[in-house]
Amino acid sequence: MLKRILTAVVALAVLVPVLLFAPYWAVQGVFALLAAVAVYEIAGCVGLRREWALTALTMLFCVGGILAPNLYEGWLRSGSWMRADEIMSGGDTGQFLLGLSKGVTMGCVAALALTYLVFAVVRHRKLPVDRLLTQLGMTAYVALGFWALCRLTCSEETSPLYARPLLWVALCIPWVADTLAYFTGYFLGKRKLCPEISPKKTIEGAIGGVVGTGVVALVVYGCVRGWDSLLSLLVVFCGAMLLAVVSIFGDLFASLLKRHFGVKDYGFLFPGHGGVLDRFDSTIPVALVLRALVIWTPLGGLL
């Protein structure tokens, strides 16, 4: 327990200043690095880590796919040498850079798919297809999740002033939901939620985590933005509960994969906590769903 607490304190001491004060490109670089470590952990989980060429190429294309559409916009939006509105207005330079970033992204996706096709055929006697497909699917899942975190750091759907709080929402919702679910389950839990996957999780704990997260989000939003709009408060409450549900399923999915391949933790980067995937298993799907909510629902305008 002491190791877990010390690791959490050190991680927060490093992460919080970065998220608060670092420029967009630095935050996105951190997420890309974490994604690369997560891909390395996936290779170890499915038993393909010794395929060094495949693992290295997977990490490379994953990082490229994440950074290409985000570093340009984050750098430019930060005002380094060209304003974002100049890019969006149709200037030749801005359009070229946007087109280049999209081209690099598609190139990384195509190269990743081609890499796995070649390895599947050339190494078919030593590389089980099911493990290859699992690694490819999980790589895409992780890359999309960290890409979403980068987009929440610098999103064109919200002003730069409010872009960073979206990132905090994606990071804090899983932590709040998990903490409230733990204490609710500890005091009130009786019925197991998914005993084959996670024996300690209870139905009562899950309900407490979901409803409690909605209440916390409601209180925080009301204190920061006001209590005037009942509709806004309702949207925030329902949105937070939805993200809490997604968080629980993300945690269970990661646990299911570990049990299937017989591993305890994905990695050891955070002593007492496991690896990157052990810490971001709930955050990845939350970031994806939050990104969708920002685009397609009133939640983006409220935040």
Residue 272 predicted with pLDDT over 80: no
Q: Are 206 and 181 in contact (CB under 8 A)?
A: yes
Which residues have CB under 8 Å from 252's CB, separation 6+? 193, 194, 197, 198, 201
19 confidence band (pLDDT: 50, 70, 90): confident
The model's pLDDT over 110-120, given as tens digits with 9 standing for 90+, comes to: 999 999 999 99
- Record the pTM: 0.87
Q: What is the mean pLDDT of residues 133-140?
A: 96
Which residues have CB under 8 Å from 88's CB, separation 6+? 94, 156
Residue 198 predicted with pLDDT over 80: yes
Question: Can you say how many angstroms the Cα of residue 242 is from the centroid of all Cα atoms in its chain?
Answer: 16
Q: How high is the pLDDT of residue 273?
A: 73
Q: What is the mean pLDDT of residues 23-35?
A: 86
More confident residue, 218 or 94: 218
Conformation bin of residue 248: beta by default, left when phi > 0, alpha when psi is -120 to 50: alpha
Residue 22 predicted with pLDDT over 90: no
Across the chain, mean pLDDT equals 84
Q: What is the mean pLDDT of residues 233-238?
A: 91
Mind spelling out the 3-state secondary structure of 165-203? HHHHHHHHHHHHHHHHHHHHHHHHCCCEEECCCEEEEEH
Q: Select from 182, 202, 178, 208 the least CA-distant residue to 190.
A: 202
Question: Can you say how many angstroms the Cα of residue 214 is from the centroid of all Cα atoms in its chain?
Answer: 20
Residue 84 predicted with pLDDT over 60: no
Residue 178 predicted with pLDDT over 80: yes
Q: Are 256 and 197 in contact (CB under 8 A)?
A: yes
**Domain boundaries of the chain, sorted by first residue:** 23-154, 160-303
Rounded distance between C-alpha atoms, residue 290 and residue 116, angstroms:
30
Q: How high is the pLDDT of residue 9?
A: 78
226 confidence band (pLDDT: 50, 70, 90): confident
Rounded distance between C-alpha atoms, residue 148 and residue 98, angstroms:
18
Q: What is the mean pLDDT of residues 12-16?
A: 77
Q: How high is the pLDDT of residue 33?
A: 94
**Could you tell me the two tokens for 276?**
């990157």
Which residues have CB under 8 Å from 238's CB, separation 6+? 214
Residue 78 predicted with pLDDT over 70: no
More confident residue, 111 or 7: 111
Q: How high is the pLDDT of residue 299?
A: 63
298 confidence band (pLDDT: 50, 70, 90): low
* Segment holding 45, helix H or strand E: helix 24-46
Other C-beta atoms within 10 Å of 189: how many?
Answer: 21
Residue 76 predicted with pLDDT over 80: no
Q: What is the mean pLDDT of residues 193-202?
A: 92
266 three-state secondary structure: coil
Torsion of CA 43, 46, 50, 55, to 10 degrees: -30
Q: How high is the pLDDT of residue 95?
A: 67
Residue 88 predicted with pLDDT over 50: no
Residue 99 predicted with pLDDT over 80: no
Residue 157 predicted with pLDDT over 50: no
Q: How high is the pLDDT of residue 20?
A: 74
Residue 103 predicted with pLDDT over 90: no
